[in-house]
Amino acid sequence: MVKETEIKLRASRDTLAALREHPLLKKRNKSGWEQHELFNQYFDTPARDLAQAKVALRIRRDGDAFIQTLKSRGQSVAGLSERNEFDWSLEQAELDLSKLDANCWPAALAELDKSLLQPIFSTDFVRQRADIAWGRGKAKVVIEAALDLGQVIAGEGEEEICELELELRQGEPEALLELAAELAADLPLMPCDISKAERGYRLFDAGSYSLSLPAPELNAEMSLDDGFAALAWHLLGSSQRLAEQYRFNGHWRLLVDWLEQLVGLRALIGSLGQAAPRSSSSELRQSLDALLHDWRPRLQAGQLDDAARQAAPAQFASELQSTRWGQFSLNASRWLLARGWTNARNNRGNRQGAAPLGNWLATLIAEEGHDLQLSRYQKQPEDLAEQLPRIERLLVWLRLARGVLEVPEVDRLYGELSKLSEQASRPIDPESLAARQAQTHTVAALKAWRMLVK
């Protein structure tokens, strides 16, 4: 068994050609480019038991060699994935079920009848690979760069494979993000947290593709720093999966959810106070603000106008053809991996970062809730929109971390505060003003709100 650490970056054909000639890769290419034609057949049961267990099983033909591979999903956040991989050489292109024993086979599939395994889809592509030496101080780093161009084929469905894979051969995972970020500064590269196997399953059965990432595991005793990191990784990774799926099928709701992740990430960063000095996050906040500045109005227009909604896929394609989304995604991943919000933090900020999450969150809600001044906006509902940044800060924590608060009706508080946010975002007319007044009253009267905002 080996552990595979890699990052996948979606590209265009022109970008793949440019990568081969990119000065950064040319200068550090220690092996020259080697070309292989790879044919891969994936297997599962008719009920897709392997997919449900986050396992991929394939046979690859590389020249005259046949290799059977079993991969587990392992950890995957914001495009950077770590997976366990088992490989066996075969004499012919037929599964050797004897290799799939307890040493590699997931316990969740222990009772599975392996004779049910059958071909499901294939991924056939030409790979150009090279070993890239990427120095990090005195540490030696070797990264395999692979330019893949081909097709995923499932029944009558096809999807192009056009991507750069960077796989760590020696060194620390930070090096993958550093190299990817430098390439993405020049070329449009989209971090893509979806494997070739997931693409095959998506083509085979669109309903089998899961957009959602596992919810972060939080508890009241963990530190604010650890809680923030878990939530920020979740939001960033979710935004990347939503971007990929919206690019794939253009469903409006996916774009709405994509923007929600970015709004949440911006609010999360803005909520940290001295635990994240402004200088430590200024570059990331500027990138996020630029994205939100462009995409909020488009989403607001699309909620009211079909023509604006229909224009969104082309606008999003244009976004992905620029370098902005890839640069933001990769730089945000680097910032989170390095815990960049702790840079230049003073002693008070360090104490806040180490504070128990449950205590810190209760204090945040009390302070933000007091400053929200709901009683004022019951009388002046026309001004409620000015409080949207504060409401968004409350919402992101209540959406993802309300389980650490020991107060009744906290789920209802999140739901009613979400309605207040929707009301604050709508154009002003007599009906919406009356709805704002009613909703501010509803939130203020909740038991959870009264307990938290003392």
Q: Residue 3 pLDDT more than 80?
A: no
Q: Residue 145 pLDDT more than 90?
A: yes
User: Can you give the C-alpha Rg of the chain in angstroms?
Assistant: 24
pLDDT at 358: 96
Band of residue 36 on the pLDDT scale cut at 50, 70, 90: very high
Rounded Cα–Cα distance for residues 70 and 75 (Å): 16
pLDDT at 41: 97
In the block, tokens 């996916």 appear at: 254
Span 117-136, pLDDT tens digits: 999 999 999 999 999 998 76
Pick from 296, 413, 281: nearest CA to 341: 281
pLDDT at 454: 79
pLDDT at 76: 59
Rounded Cα–Cα distance for residues 413 and 450 (Å): 10
Span 312-334, pLDDT tens digits: 999 999 999 999 999 999 999 99
Rounded Cα–Cα distance for residues 96 and 85 (Å): 16
Percent of the chain with pLDDT over 90: 80
pLDDT at 222: 98
Span 347-397, pLDDT tens digits: 999 999 999 999 999 999 999 999 999 999 989 999 999 999 999 999 999
Q: What is the 3-state secondary structure (H, E, C) of the chain?
A: CEEEEEEEEECCHHHHHHHHCCHHHHHHECCCCEEEEEEEEEEECCCCHHHHCCEEEEEEEECCEEEEEEEECCEEECCEEEEEEEEEEECCCCCCHHHCCCCCCCHHHCCCCHHHCEEEEEEEEEEEEEEEECCECCECCEEEEEEEEEEEEECCEEEEEEEEEEEEEECCCHHHHHHHHHHHCCCCCEECCCCHHHHHHHHHCHHHCCCCCCCCCCCCCCEHHHHHHHHHHHHHHHHHHHHHHHHHHCCHHHHHHHHHHHHHHHHHHHCCHHHCCHHHHHHHHHHHHHHHHHHHHHHHHHHHCHHHHHHHHHHHHHHHHCCHHHHHHHHHHHHHHCCHHHCCCCHHHHHHHHCEHHHHHHHHHHHHHHHHCHHHHHHCHHHHHHHHHHHHHHHHHHHHHHHHCCCCCHHHHHHHHHHHHHHHHCCCCHHHHHHHHHHHHHHHHCHHHHHHCC
Percent of the chain with pLDDT over 70: 96
Span 41-83, pLDDT tens digits: 999 999 999 988 889 999 999 999 999 999 886 665 555 667 7
pLDDT at 153: 96
Rounded Cα–Cα distance for residues 142 and 5 (Å): 12
Q: CA-CA distances (angstroms) from residue 398 to 53, 75, 246, 391, 404? A: 30, 25, 26, 10, 10
Structure tokens at 194: 């979806």
pLDDT at 7: 92
What would the mean pLDDT of 421-440 be, rounded to a whole number?
92
Span 232-267, pLDDT tens digits: 999 999 999 999 999 999 999 999 999 999 999 999
pLDDT at 284: 96
pLDDT at 136: 66
Q: Residue 2 pLDDT more than 70?
A: no
Contact (CB, 8 A) for 121 and 152: yes
pLDDT at 209: 66
What would the mean pLDDT of 172-191 be, rounded to a whole number?
93
Rounded Cα–Cα distance for residues 119 and 58 (Å): 9
Q: What is the mean pLDDT of the chain?
A: 92
Rounded Cα–Cα distance for residues 88 and 71 (Å): 12
Structure tokens at 306: 């079909």
What is the CATH code of the structural domain delimited by 1-210? 2.40.320.10
Rounded Cα–Cα distance for residues 248 and 267 (Å): 28
Contacts of 231 (CB under 8 A, 6+ apart): 216, 218, 268, 396, 400, 401
pLDDT at 121: 96
Q: Give the pTM.
A: 0.92
Q: Residue 224 pLDDT more than 70?
A: yes
